[in-house]
Amino acid sequence: MLKSATMPRERGLGYALLGGLVITLIAVLIGVAFIYWFTTVQRGPAPAELLPADVQLYAGLSPTLSDVPEQPRIELALKEVFGLSMPANAAANVAALLGVKLDSDVITWVGSDIAIVVRDFTPVTRDVAADLITNGEVMIFLASRNDPQARMFLDKHLEVRRLRGETFTEQRVGETIIYVGEIDSPLRAVGLIEHYIVFANRPEPLLDLAAGPGRPNRLIDVPAYQQFRETIAAVRSGAIYTDGSPVSEAARAAVRAWLVRLLTAQITP
């Protein structure tokens, strides 16, 4: 009788234990699937896989395990690559320019892959920062690790610019929309492309990026860039690739001049 009385309870405990193990296994599988999705679907190709081979300058942050941009690394990169020191109000100035809050509208999605790219640049005046806008292509890549949040940032940024009186046109490549504004700035055109928020001074380079990777004559195929790519992981902050031409040094000076204006500009939100 004792045996028959305890058997159902033992079976009940066994079923409960088995059920708990099954639930745990399912949770682990879901977690693994989410991690795989997050690290593959949410991570786009490297910018060099999208860019044409004739890039004159590529300045980027080195990779980081956290996949989150750290302010000390950004400050160090600006100092080492462009000789810049971040003013105390730099973050506030950038936030005002973008019309967003950095902590709630940017940090939620931006990854550590950040780059400034220049191509087709020809300086014609002493104002190289202005020449960069009118006589070249400049792009700013901000990697997205959360596309829905990046889309929310983009919508808010565009709405702020509309409220400031700017009008946008839209150009499409497949499902990608490029928004083209009216300001003379590297921020004029913008889109969410291959898991990057990319700004540019004109729409043409963004339309080219939207065609995707896997095409011939990309920056990733250039031997000098491949050597640069092998060394960038060893640096602490950021590094710069140039094509070695005299114009590339002018491009470097132009980007530096524009960054100075960006970081020190006083903009009313």
What is the DSSP annotation of 139-151? EEEEEES-HHHHH
Round to whole Å and give the CA distance between 34 and 123: 48
Q: What pLDDT score was predicted for residue 71? A: 77
Q: What pLDDT score was predicted for residue 198? A: 98
Burial 147-163 (b: 16+ CB within 10 A, else e): bebbebbbeebbebbee
Q: What pLDDT score was predicted for residue 39? A: 40
Round to whole Å and give the CA distance between 93 and 260: 11
**Given 3-state DSSP classes, what are the helix, strand and coil percentages for the chain, each rounded to the nearest 5?**
50, 20, 30
Tens-digit pLDDT profile for residues 185-223:
999 999 999 999 999 999 999 999 999 999 999 999 999
Q: In the numeric block, which tokens belong to residue 4?
A: 């028959």
Round to whole Å and give the CA distance between 259 and 202: 18
Query: Could you tell me the pTM of the whole model?
Result: 0.82
C-alpha 200, offset from chain centre: 13
What is the DSSP annotation of 159-189? HHHHHTT---EEEEETTEEEEE-S-SSTTSE
Tens-digit pLDDT profile for residues 123-138:
999 999 999 999 999 9
3-state SS, 30-46, equals HHHHHHHHHHHCCCCCC
Tens-digit pLDDT profile for residues 3-38:
555 555 555 555 555 555 555 555 444 444 334 334
Q: In the numeric block, which tokens belong to residue 86?
A: 């971040």
Q: Who has greater pLDDT, 182 or 36?
A: 182
* Interval 116-129 mean pLDDT: 94
Q: What pLDDT score was predicted for residue 112? A: 80
Q: What is the mean pLDDT of the chain?
A: 84
